[in-house]
Amino acid sequence: MSSSQPKIQIENLVKIYGKNPEHALKLFREGGNRDEILQATGNVLGVADVTLSIGEGELFVIMGLSGSGKSTLVRCLNRLIEPTSGHVYIDDEDVAKVDLKRLREVRRTKLSMVFQRFGLFPHKSVLENTEYGLKMRGIDPEERRQKALETLAIVGLHQWANYAPSALSGGMQQRVGLARALATDAPILLMDEAFSALDPLIRRGMQDELMRLQTELHRTIVFISHDIQEALKIGDRVAIMKDGYLVQVGTPEEIITNPVDDYIAAFTQDVNRAQVLKTGSIVRQTMPFILGQGSARAALQDMQTHDHRRMHVVDRQGQPVGVLMRKDLESAVDSGVEDVEAVMRRDFPTVEASTSLEEIFHLAQTGAPIAVVNRKGKFKGVVEQSDILASIGRLSRNEEADSAAPVDRIAV
């Protein structure tokens, strides 16, 4: 989902709260940790030398316990909080250094934000809230009204346009918050614990909705969360913070299969691995039989040499079209049938590599081999029931984590 093009580049970002940050910054540079700085200067280290790059179109989650500096970090991106030192490049422009006028321009066109307690304007209607960003940009009333109504329709609230936000439930209010942020067409969406104030059920709905919207809108989203389940569910990549420091950055699978320290291992302990692990990570790469490139006899020989019980068949585009069972093939060859298409079975399950193990569990229970395809539908390999059980079972025992393939720990 993410492309390699970086949209946001954070370099050596430091935020120190307090009266005399220069002195505290010096202490920090000399290697002082958070407690030492607090003791010596009374200043609080909010964000400690964070370097991070977020790709265009990526849904990037920043995770951490309360007080770990998540809100501070995300507010440094649009400078609701002034960084003490460091750079924030957005499209190669250092936002940490631009003047106020340019900063407002950046806020109007490039970044929009969704807040934990919604931050709606209580004296404005849902529609007026939604069009606020466009109003700040000086868009004329008719046009911005139109745009706001369209955006409200996207989040399913157009019938509520003329109501006060207080007439809406929490979940609906946050949809307004989301619509307000989407309406400006800013390519970057900052969401500070946007769903934390919502009931679990509503919250799950909003997560699904955000993921659905993201497949259509392809914004670059920086999503703050203190909930590991949420982070692993929605994030393309997840960064974990502790005491202002960045501890680990990686895909959800990397985080749970290869936690860099006990802190992160403890975090991920209770996670339902089947929900996080993707089918693609356990796929067995097998050679399929390509349609039109040989007879049934050739296919049988192929299976016999590799001692396979079955083999998938793909068309010339590489899309799986059938599966050959060795038994079927043997009797077909015995009775002189040469056409592979006449022998292969067409009812077999196919899943995308990005599907979670939990979702394919029920397919595996039928015992049929599952064909795994990439997003374009091309055959990648097969997954069997035993693979799924093995990976879930193995990974829920932590000692196995160390022997897993090494992963780039702090991706920069």
Ligand X SMILES: Nc1ncnc2c1ncn2[C@@H]1O[C@H](COP(=O)(O)OP(=O)(O)OP(=O)(O)O)[C@@H](O)[C@H]1O
- Site residues (CB under 8 A) for another protein? 75, 78, 80, 103-108, 111-113, 115-123, 132-133, 135-137, 160, 163-164, 167-169, 172, 180, 184, 190
Residue 267: which residues within 8 A CB-CB, separation 6 or more?
63, 228, 240, 259
Helix pair angle (326-334, 296-306), 10° resolution = 130
Closest separation between CB of residue 65 and ligand X, Å?
A: 7
* Measured distance CA(285)–CA(292) in Å, rounded: 21
Residues 31-60 that bind ligand X (CB under 6 A): 44, 46
Fill in the per-residue mask, 72 to 91: x = in contact with ligand X (CB under 6 A), - = not in contact.
x-------------------
Is the CB of 126 or the CB of 228 nearer to ligand X? 228
Is the CB of 77 or the CB of 299 nearer to Mg ion? 77
Is the CB of 179 or the CB of 240 nearer to another protein? 179
263 binds ligand X (CB under 6 A): no
Q: Which residue is nearest to ligand X (CB)?
A: 71
Closest separation between CB of residue 186 and another protein, Å?
A: 9
Closest separation between CB of residue 136 and another protein, Å?
A: 5
* Residue 226 partner contact from ligand X, Mg ion, another protein, none using kind-dependent CB cut-offs of 5 to 8 Å: ligand X
* Residue 72 partner contact from ligand X, Mg ion, another protein, none using kind-dependent CB cut-offs of 5 to 8 Å: ligand X
Residues 363-392 that bind ligand X (CB under 6 A): none
Closest separation between CB of residue 132 and another protein, Å?
A: 6
* Residue 184 partner contact from another protein, Mg ion, ligand X, none using kind-dependent CB cut-offs of 5 to 8 Å: another protein
Binding residues vs ligand X (CB under 6 A): 17, 44, 46, 64, 66-72, 226
